Copies of this chain bind each other. A is one copy, B any other.
Amino acid sequence: MARWESNARERLVRAALDLFTEQGFDATTVNEIADRAGLTKTTFLRHFPDKREVLFAGQDMHARLLAAAITAAPSPATPLEAVGAALDAITATFPDDRREFSARLRPVIAGNSELQERAAFKRGGLAGAMTDALHRRGVPEPTASLAAELGIRAFYRAFDQWADPTSRQTFTELARHALDELRAATATLDQRATTVRPGTPS
């Protein structure tokens, strides 16, 4: 429990996202971000270990949440059912307030390879947390990694759709649907192109 409950972190995140959107990630210095938030470079780096992390903070909590949900899943659940439970749990923690923020975040990350690196790393961390939790349930390799991978793919797919302001479904619904699609796709890996002539893939 912080004593002043200052919103320094939040101010820094907002200032950073604003500046990154306006001038790009590279063209924005840590000093600029801190200035706009009414703080200093030192304070910025006290809150975030590096400049990129200001956009990714809080992912550790997500990893713990996913792992906890998998651990808490009923014991007869299949690997994919446990992963589905984890998706239910994590998607429920995204308030609608964050949709606009998420929507602004995506192009910034897409436009900078350093941020894409960090995103790829964080993604791996989330998948690893799920994999470990599945291991603790007794799910062997490579089933555990695979189930976790499907979960992560479903999560990001649903996240993209949810962040799109035209979307009307809930994050949870989108994630469940994405996971179903992925499960169905596993059956098509050994399937030759047949009846429907696929044009450009969607």
Contacts and interface: CB of A to CB of B under 8 A. Distances in A.
Contacts of A191: 78-79
A42 interface: no
Interface stretch (A7-15, A19-27, A110-118): A110-118
Interface in A111-153: 113, 116-118, 120-121, 123-124, 135, 137-147, 149-150, 153
Interface of A, secondary structure class, is helix
Interface stretch (A33-41, A62-70, A160-168, A182-190): A182-190
From A76, A124, A142, residue with most partner B Cβ within 10 Å: A142
A201 B116 contact: no
Interface residues of A, number: 47
A155 to B, nearest CB: 13
A143 B191 CA distance: 10
Given A121-B113, A121-B120, A202-B140, A147 B189 contact: yes
A146 B186 contact: yes
Contacts of A197: 138
A77 B192 CA distance: 7
Given A117-B118, A138-B198, 19 more contacts: A79-B189, A79-B190, A117-B117, A120-B120, A120-B121, A120-B124, A121-B121, A138-B197, A139-B193, A140-B201, A142-B157, A142-B182, A143-B188, A146-B182, A146-B185, A147-B189, A149-B149, A150-B189, A183-B189
